[in-house]
């Protein structure tokens, strides 16, 4: 078993009366892309700030490469590449100056790789940051984050506000970085289709808690979408274990379930339901079921 790149144990953080993180524990291993999903304000960015050493763990612990990132910032940050949603790059610099500035902090900087990405993205090295479009800024920021071939790449909403072509270029560069070098990436995004496409392993956070984690393909296999019809106007569902969310449209119900298919099927049919459709749920449907407004809690009599 390879050594964990990241190890978070019982991490809790509170801002005033708001619990940003509530006992989060997770591990990350080399060579995988980890997706981090959750609604806005549910703890994703707070977790990332702890990994970068921008916040000190007050409850629980955080280790990156076996070190506390607050106590060993240089040793940790030299091995991390980071792209934030704000992409707050120095506007007075040219792109080539940004590359030289970033290279000074990273002994493993690979200029040929940086040049390759500049050519791929069709970025003019002589252009000033302040003259770049939002997409170009994201591309320049990504090059600065990956050209030193970091062991851990952290991306906080890298695709926000970007068009489909730029998003595809960025995602391809991330995949190449991880796949070519066997490195690790943490990919935080509200775009669930991108997370599904990009990630090997998923962390889902809601109200500061880790509510779901696992291999992305396994999670999709474990969640099914059922379309069930009841005769007449059926206002309440029977208490069936395994139903996570339920949405009603007249006599039809759309259910996201996780559990024994036979048990759910038998219970719904026993209550007079007709199963009209059954398939594996998408990551988007699983996310909405787990953290949305239509969550369903079955209570057995």
Pairwise CA distance, residues 185 & 150, whole Å? 9
Query: What pLDDT score was predicted for residue 73?
Result: 94
Query: What pLDDT score was predicted for residue 301?
Result: 35
Pairwise CA distance, residues 283 & 288, whole Å? 9
- Residue 285 φ then ψ, to 5°: -65, -35
Domains in the chain and their CATH numbers? 6-217 (3.40.50.300), 223-291 (3.30.70)
Query: What pLDDT score was predicted for residue 300?
Result: 40
Radius of gyration of the CA atoms of the chain, in A: 22
**pTM confidence score:** 0.87
Query: What pLDDT score was predicted for residue 2?
Result: 61
Pairwise CA distance, residues 50 & 185, whole Å? 16
The tokens for 265 are 């099927």
Query: What pLDDT score was predicted for residue 7?
Result: 96
Per-residue confidence of the chain (301 residues) as pLDDT tens digits? 568 899 999 999 988 888 889 999 999 999 889 999 987 777 888 999 999 999 999 899 999 999 999 999 999 999 999 988 776 788 899 999 999 999 998 888 999 999 998 998 899 999 999 999 888 888 898 899 889 989 999 988 877 767 777 777 777 777 767 766 778 999 888 888 888 888 899 999 988 899 999 999 999 999 999 898 887 666 677 778 888 988 888 778 889 988 788 888 888 888 888 887 788 899 999 998 988 766 654 444 3
Query: What pLDDT score was predicted for residue 296?
Result: 57
């Amino acid at each position: 078993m390879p050594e964990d790149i990241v190890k978070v144990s019982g991490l809790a953080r509170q801002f005033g009366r708001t619990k940003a993180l509530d006992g989060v524990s997770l591990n990350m291993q080399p060579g995988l892309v980890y997706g981090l999903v959750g609604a806005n304000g549910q703890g994703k960015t707070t977790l990332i700030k702890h990994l970068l050493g921008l916040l000190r763990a007050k409850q629980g612990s955080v280790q990156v490469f076996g070190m506390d990132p607050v106590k060993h910032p240089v040793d940790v940050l030299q091995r991390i590449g980071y792209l934030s949603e704000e992409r707050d790059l120095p506007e007075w610099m040219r792109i080539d100056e940004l590359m030289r500035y970033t290279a000074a902090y990273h002994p493993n900087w690979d200029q040929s790789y940086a040049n390759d990405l500049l050519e791929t993205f069709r970025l003019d090295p002589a252009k000033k940051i302040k003259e770049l479009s939002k997409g170009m800024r994201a591309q320049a920021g990504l090059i600065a984050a990956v050209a030193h071939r970091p062991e851990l790449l952290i991306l906080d909403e890298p695709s926000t506000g970007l068009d489909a072509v730029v998003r595809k270029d960025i995602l391809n560069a991330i995949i190449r970085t991880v796949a070519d070098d066997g490195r690790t990436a943490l990919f935080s995004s509200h775009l669930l289709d991108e997370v599904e496409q990009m990630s090997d392993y998923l962390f889902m956070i809601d109200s500061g808690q880790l509510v779901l984690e696992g291999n992305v393909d396994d999670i999709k296999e474990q969640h099914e979408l059922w379309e069930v019809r009841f005769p007449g106007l059926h206002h309440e569902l029977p208490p069936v274990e395994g139903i996570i969310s339920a949405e009603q449209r007249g006599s039809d119900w759309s259910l996201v379930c996780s559990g024994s298919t036979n048990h759910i099927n038998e219970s719904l049919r026993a209550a007079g339901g007709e199963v009209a459709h059954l398939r594996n749920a998408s990551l988007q449907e699983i996310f909405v079921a787990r953290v949305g407004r239509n969550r369903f809690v079955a209570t057995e009599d």
